[in-house]
């Protein structure tokens, strides 16, 4: 088995992950594997979810945070710890600190989901809001550490963090010894690196596929360059993997041990989250659904049994509402369109009759009569419809055109 050269960063081996597993006994849950019949049918082989969304604090992050803080000296513990996170690492550090009796301060982006901020405070951390993206928040937390002497707990760029996250990989091997492919979301790379160290040491034949949001994919250019590089614009709903630069420590491990890193679109993330909720009855955040998005986008490229890691379930209900609407639209379950009709009594009833025959459920209707582009006797109608898939959407539009309406999307 090929490991990165020892001079590049602190070495990390299987024994480190096994030691972390012993340390976490009674602290973190051994989360279940749940089968997905729908994805299994698409892939043509068994697909199982590793449900870290059911972990304490709602994500895998407790594992690494607890291992890292457990390794601090008494003097370091007395100084307290500081972390930066969009939410999941924040909660992991807050709970780990509380369990170990260590004072914690957590920096979070100004736009962090309110439930994550509230949960972090409830676990006992002092929360400070700073910056709009995680990289800005990281810089503020590191400055705080320099000023106060608090120990900075990095979300992914430390060997202890990676060892803790790697315990997920050991559990997968114990729960599904016949696994052939593990699919995992990638932000800074700590989770993928830890799983790769654990799994490849025991089963080098297992294929490990990392998944990033296309709008925040720092690994593909970094892997191409052979070293971590920063990317500029970060545009994705998946805040848990919205990282602009790979960590130095996990990068080498990902480079040498992870077989492939793919990207998925926002539409694919939305569809994956909708599938998790509808088919698997799992509340999963966008970052946690990224492996499912990869499976949906190209199911025949995976060899099973496949384990897809649902890495977190902490999602703002308001964001969930927007994502579900987006996902329904991407799946052809929600159709928005505009059309013009003659502004006369009964015109709307006639239109609704056409939609009724086409079996489209009308969710909302709005009129515009004062647009200067409209004729004197015209009205523009905007419709929001519940539909049954992309083919039904096309049938609805065809029925409207056949009835003489000009459809504008």
Question: Which residues have a catalytic role annotated?
Answer: 61, 311
The rounded distance, in Å, linking the Cα atoms of 48 and 399 is 41
By the 8 A CB rule, do 60 and 312 touch? yes
Strands 378-386 and 334-342: antiparallel
CA nearest neighbour of 53 among 330, 322, 308? 308
Other CB atoms within 10 A of residue 214 CB: 15
Alpha helices (runs of H) in 71-158, residue ranges in sequence order: 74-79, 88-100, 114-122, 134-148
Which of 151, 135, 118, 119 is CA-nearest to residue 84? 135
Report the b/e string of 59-98 with b at 16+ CB within 10 A: bbbbbbbbbbbbebeeeebebbbbbbbbbbbbbbbbbbbe
CB 356, CB 362: distance < 8 Å: no
Dihedral sign from CA coordinates of 49, 54, 57, 58: positive
């Amino acid at each position: 088995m090929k490991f990165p050269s020892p001079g590049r960063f602190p070495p990390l081996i299987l024994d480190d992950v096994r030691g972390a597993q012993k340390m976490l006994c009674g602290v973190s849950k051994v989360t279940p594997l749940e089968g997905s019949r729908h994805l299994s049918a698409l892939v043509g082989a068994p697909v199982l979810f590793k449900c870290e969304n059911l972990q304490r604090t709602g994500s895998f992050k407790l594992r690494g945070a607890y291992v890292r803080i457990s390794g601090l000296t008494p003097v370091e513990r007395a100084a307290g710890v500081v972390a930066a996170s969009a939410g999941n690492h924040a909660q992991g550090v807050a709970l780990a600190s509380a369990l170990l009796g260590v004072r914690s301060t957590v920096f979070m982006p100004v736009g962090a989901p309110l439930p994550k901020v509230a949960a972090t405070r409830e676990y006992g951390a002092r929360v400070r809001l700073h910056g709009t993206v995680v990289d800005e928040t990281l810089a503020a937390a590191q400055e705080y550490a320099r000023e106060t002497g608090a120990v900075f707990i990095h979300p992914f760029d430390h060997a202890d963090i990676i060892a803790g996250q790697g315990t997920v990989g050991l559990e997968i091997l114990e729960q599904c010894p016949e696994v052939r492919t593990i699919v995992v979301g990638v932000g800074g790379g700590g989770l993928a690196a830890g799983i790769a160290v654990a799994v490849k040491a025991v089963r080098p034949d297992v294929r490990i596929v990392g998944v990033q949001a296309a709008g925040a994919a720092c690994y593909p250019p970094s892997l191409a360059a052979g070293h971590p590089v920063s990317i500029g614009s970060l545009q994705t709903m998946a805040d848990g993997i919205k990282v602009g630069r790979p960590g130095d420590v996990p990068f080498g491990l990902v480079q040498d041990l992870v077989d492939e890193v793919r990207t998925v679109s926002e539409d694919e993330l939305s569809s994956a989250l909708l599938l998790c909720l509808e088919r698997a009855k799992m509340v999963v955040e966008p970052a946690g659904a990224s492996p499912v998005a990869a499976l949906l986008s190209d199911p025949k490229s995976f060899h099973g049994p496949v384990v897809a890691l649902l890495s977190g379930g902490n999602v703002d209900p308001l964001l969930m509402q927007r994502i579900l609407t987006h996902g329904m639209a991407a799946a052809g379950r929600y159709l928005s369109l505009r059309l013009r009709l003659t502004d006369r009594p009964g015109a709307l009833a006639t239109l609704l009759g056409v939609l009724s025959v086409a079996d489209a459920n009308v969710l909302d209707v709005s009129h515009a009569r004062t647009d200067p582009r409209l004729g004197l006797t015209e009205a523009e109608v905007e419709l929001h419809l519940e539909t049954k898939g992309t083919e039904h959407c096309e049938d609805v539009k065809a029925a409207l055109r056949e009835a003489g309406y000009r459809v504008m999307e």
